[in-house]
Amino acid sequence: MSAETILYIVIAAVISFALAVFMYGYRSKYSGRLKWLFGSLRFLTLLAILILLINPKFKSETYTIVKPSLPVVIDNSSSVSELNQTDNVSAIVSKLKENDDLNDKFDLSYFTFGTDFKATDSVTFTETNTNIAKALSATNEVFKNTIAPTVLISDGNQTLGSDYEFSSATYKNPVYPVILGDSTKYTDLKLERLNTNRYAFLKNQFPVEAILVYNGTGSVNSQFIISQGAAVVYRENITFSETDNSKTISLTLPASRVGLQKYTAQVVPLEDEKNTVNNSKQFAVEVIDQATNVLVVSGIVHPDLGMFKKAIETNEQRKVTFAKPAEAVSQLQDNQLIILYQPTRSFATVFAELEKLKLNTFIISGTNTDWNFLNSAQAVFQKEVTGQREEASAELNVNYGAFAMEDIGFSNFPPLPTLFGELHITVPHEVVLNQTVSGFSTENALLATAEINGKRDALWDVEELWKWRAQSYLQNNNFQEFDAFVGKLVQYLASNKRRSRLEVSNESFYYNNSPIKISAQYFDKNYVFDTRASLSISVVEQESIQRTVFPMLLKNNFYEVDVNSLPAGEYAYTVSVGDEAIARSGSFTILDFNVEQQFGNANVSKLNRVAANTSGMAYFPNEIDALITNLTQDNRFQSIQKSEQKIVPLIDWKYLLVLIVLFLTAEWFIRKYNGLI
């Protein structure tokens, strides 16, 4: 409390005393006892009111003891059970939970990881992938401002994500790996990696690359075989030694039949091999008759052009070619979609030919676009010409219904340049992305699609889209989400298929260690997406004729189901709508590949290096007591006393109001009791 506030309180006390003396001491008609009683109550009442008006502030300080955190991160992948380590994990967790010294010193929290990172101590060892880098990164982020040594219970075998040994170099807190699995090296031949295209074109050849690895002593001979059904389509003899312990085999196979072609690649096991699961892998190639051809017409060189080629050709079914406006006219008929990048008057003959051929178009406009020409060259998109630039951001329209899509983080993408002006779309259309400037909606479309008389057109009214693809990579560590969005847009625009009320989308084949998702869209009779429909999918395994029914869940502007619980096999499906006689059928294949079965022992050397990089120490399951002792005795991990100072104004102290009421009430009752009222 400041000296000035104390002075005000003293003055308030003097004023209260003077008023009380004036009211009850000067010519008072009350007896001596009542005079003193009433005077005291009035003095206290006036003083309390004046102090309340002065509102002095008081400092309060509280002290708390904050224990260091101890996150326990547990590998929940199936490789742990493959290495027969599930009992060890249970025993380790029980010891950590039951040790009083450890729990007195640390605030323990438990997490599990496989593909994702979760806050739980419930382990099932059913995850089909392991992402140790993501688990360590997430733990580092959660406990970045605290003392938090991390206990990592894992076999060290990772199947997804960046190299966790490299990423751990920036980890703030020490990591104490508990190594699950046998460190003994057994003789092993392994099909380390198999690379092939997902699609191939009929009567062409598609490449296959296999990387084979040998662990063991001495020289061994084996064979690498690729078979299709009972027929062997490729065979090669291979020899390994301790020094020459890896082979890369590159070959091509003919695509002679349309449809899904399934193959098995195998390196023949040795007689004394312990783990033969990692000797073979199934793969499939879908042979298609022809590609979807996309022609990009541009009069300028721009990074966006390379971005579109990369994003579109991620799907091997699509092929992108480039042409200048003068060259494009003769090539238009050979393509299913024409992308017109920043059209100017040099595109006049291209637009005239497009009008004759009724081809689908995708216009990308920007600061180099001549809108005076574009407004006259086509009638779908019309924009006010101002000659001014602006930076525009995107906001997803979750009610868009032409095709299923997810929000890939458009609100986090940087604003991009475009020309200022009001945009009008003169035909039936749907807006994919709304335009925002500085966080405010302009009510203009940034990306829109239109369809009339079977012809589809789209406009993306912004340039430097390569920055969005780069930002998507920074957010997700891959280009897949952005490329998938562009791919769906191109697939919709390149097709002239008549729209139906129920649309189903799925891949022809999946690997069972990846998400197996099937999506659908259902529209009412006015072709408006129906969010109240009840969709289900009936899946039948072709060999056993076993039927499984899954509900499809609403997700933004589409319905989706993940059937990852299904075993490998060939399936037929039917998507139906409750209370409607509408259904769509199809098929897909799930290929058997369990990446978690590819490991025969723990990755001891890498976990040891992670411990060394972070100033921690690695332990085996039988050394947990030593780990606990080390943690409890390490002076780096000490509890911290934190003080919190609060400044509380007296007006927040409600009891002072209660005292004022009590003083006034007491005075009233005394007066009433003595017959003075």
> Domain holding 160: CATH number?
3.40.50.410
**pLDDT number for residue 49:** 85
pLDDT digits (tens, 9 = 90+) for 219-232: 999 999 999 988 99
pLDDT digits (tens, 9 = 90+) for 555-567: 877 899 999 888 8
- Answer yes or no: do 510 and 462 share one domain: no
pLDDT for 274 beyond 90: no
pLDDT digits (tens, 9 = 90+) for 396-427: 988 887 777 788 889 889 999 999 999 999 88
- Sort 74 into a burial class: Cβ within 10 Å, 0-12 / 13-18 / 19+: buried
Q: Work out the pLDDT band at 505, boundaries 50, 70, 90.
A: confident
Strand duo 246-254 + 205-215: pairing: antiparallel
**pLDDT number for residue 4:** 79
pLDDT for 289 beyond 90: no
- Answer yes or no: do 480 and 466 share one domain: yes
**pLDDT number for residue 316:** 81
pLDDT for 30 beyond 70: no
pLDDT for 291 beyond 90: no
Where among 288, 305, 334 does a domain terminate?
288
**How many Å apart are CA 433 and CA 393, to the nearest integer?**
9
**pLDDT number for residue 572:** 94
**pLDDT number for residue 628:** 94
- Answer yes or no: do 98 and 44 share one domain: no
**pLDDT number for residue 59:** 74
520 beta partners: 504, 559
Side-chain half-sphere CA neighbours of 67 within 13 A: 14
Where among 580, 595, 610 does a domain terminate?
595
Question: What is the average per-residue pLDDT within 594-620?
Answer: 86
- Answer yes or no: do 441 and 301 share one domain: yes
Question: What is the average per-residue pLDDT within 107-120?
Answer: 91
**pLDDT number for residue 353:** 92
Q: Which residues contact 665 (CB under 8 A, 6 or more apart)?
A: none
- Answer yes or no: do 90 and 159 share one domain: yes
Where among 240, 261, 288 does a domain terminate?
288
pLDDT digits (tens, 9 = 90+) for 176-221: 999 998 766 778 888 888 888 888 888 888 999 999 999 888 899 9
Range list of β-strands (E), 289-405? 292-298, 318-323, 337-341, 361-365, 381-383, 389-396
Q: Do the beta carbons of residue 512 and residue 519 sit within 8 Å?
A: no
3-state secondary structure of 506: coil
- Answer yes or no: do 46 and 103 share one domain: no
Q: Which residues contact 504 (CB under 8 A, 6 or more apart)?
A: 518, 519, 520, 575, 584, 586
pLDDT for 265 beyond 90: yes
Structural domain total, the chain: 5
Residue by residue, DSSP assigns 371-409 as: HHHHHHH-SSEEE-----EEEEEEEE-TT--SS-----S
**pLDDT number for residue 31:** 67
- Answer yes or no: do 359 and 489 share one domain: yes
pLDDT digits (tens, 9 = 90+) for 9-25: 888 888 888 887 777 76
**pLDDT number for residue 154:** 93
Q: Work out the pLDDT band at 54, boundaries 50, 70, 90.
A: confident
Residue by residue, DSSP assigns 118-142 as: ES-------BS---HHHHHHHHHHH
We report the CATH number of the domain holding residue 407 as 3.40.50
- Answer yes or no: do 316 and 394 share one domain: yes
Identify which of 291, 507, 465 has the alpha carbon closest to the alpha carbon of residue 362. 465
**pLDDT number for residue 15:** 86
Q: Do the beta carbons of residue 536 and residue 576 sit within 8 Å?
A: yes
Name the DSSP class of 564. Answer: T
**pLDDT number for residue 150:** 94
Structure tokens given for 123: 């382990």
**pLDDT number for residue 411:** 87
Distance of CA 513 to the CA centre of its chain: 18
**pLDDT number for residue 677:** 66
Instruction: Pick 530 or 152 by higher pLDDT.
Output: 152
Phi, psi of 66 (to 5 degrees): -105, 115
Identify which of 400, 398, 404, 582 has the alpha carbon closest to the alpha carbon of residue 506. 404
- Answer yes or no: do 87 and 230 share one domain: no
Q: Which residues contact 104 (CB under 8 A, 6 or more apart)?
A: none
3-state secondary structure of 494: helix
The percent of residues in the chain predicted with pLDDT above 70, rounded, is 97
Phi, psi of 640 (to 5 degrees): -115, 135
- Answer yes or no: do 463 and 571 share one domain: no
pLDDT for 27 beyond 80: no
Range of the domain at 237: 188-288
Question: What is the average per-residue pLDDT within 367-371?
Answer: 92
Q: Do the beta carbons of residue 69 and residue 105 sit within 8 Å?
A: no
**pLDDT number for residue 75:** 93
288 beta partners: 201
- Answer yes or no: do 406 and 308 share one domain: yes
The percent of residues in the chain predicted with pLDDT above 90, rounded, is 44
DSSP3 helix / strand / coil % (the chain, rounded to 5):
30, 35, 35
Strand duo 318-323 + 292-298: pairing: parallel
**pLDDT number for residue 71:** 94
**Which residue has 């004023």 as its token pair?**
15
Identify which of 306, 308, 349 has the alpha carbon closest to the alpha carbon of residue 325. 349
Q: Work out the pLDDT band at 264, boundaries 50, 70, 90.
A: very high
pLDDT for 649 beyond 80: no
**pLDDT number for residue 13:** 83
We report the CATH number of the domain holding residue 577 as 2.60.40.10
Q: What is the rounded average pLDDT for all residues in the chain?
A: 87
Q: Which residues contact 263 (CB under 8 A, 6 or more apart)?
A: 226, 227, 228, 233, 253, 282, 283, 284, 285
- Answer yes or no: do 369 and 455 share one domain: yes
Range list of β-strands (E), 563-665? 569-577, 583-591, 640-649
**How many Å apart are CA 103 and CA 363, to the nearest integer?**
63
Q: Do the beta carbons of residue 103 and residue 203 sit within 8 Å?
A: no
Q: Do the beta carbons of residue 339 and residue 296 sit within 8 Å?
A: yes
**pLDDT number for residue 33:** 73
Structure tokens given for 536: 């289900």
Question: What is the average per-residue pLDDT within 123-152?
Answer: 89
Instruction: Pick 644 or 532 by higher pLDDT.
Output: 532
**How many Å apart are CA 564 and CA 562, to the nearest integer?**
6
Q: Do the beta carbons of residue 59 and residue 98 sit within 8 Å?
A: no
Instruction: Pick 460 or 440 by higher pLDDT.
Output: 460
**pLDDT number for residue 578:** 86
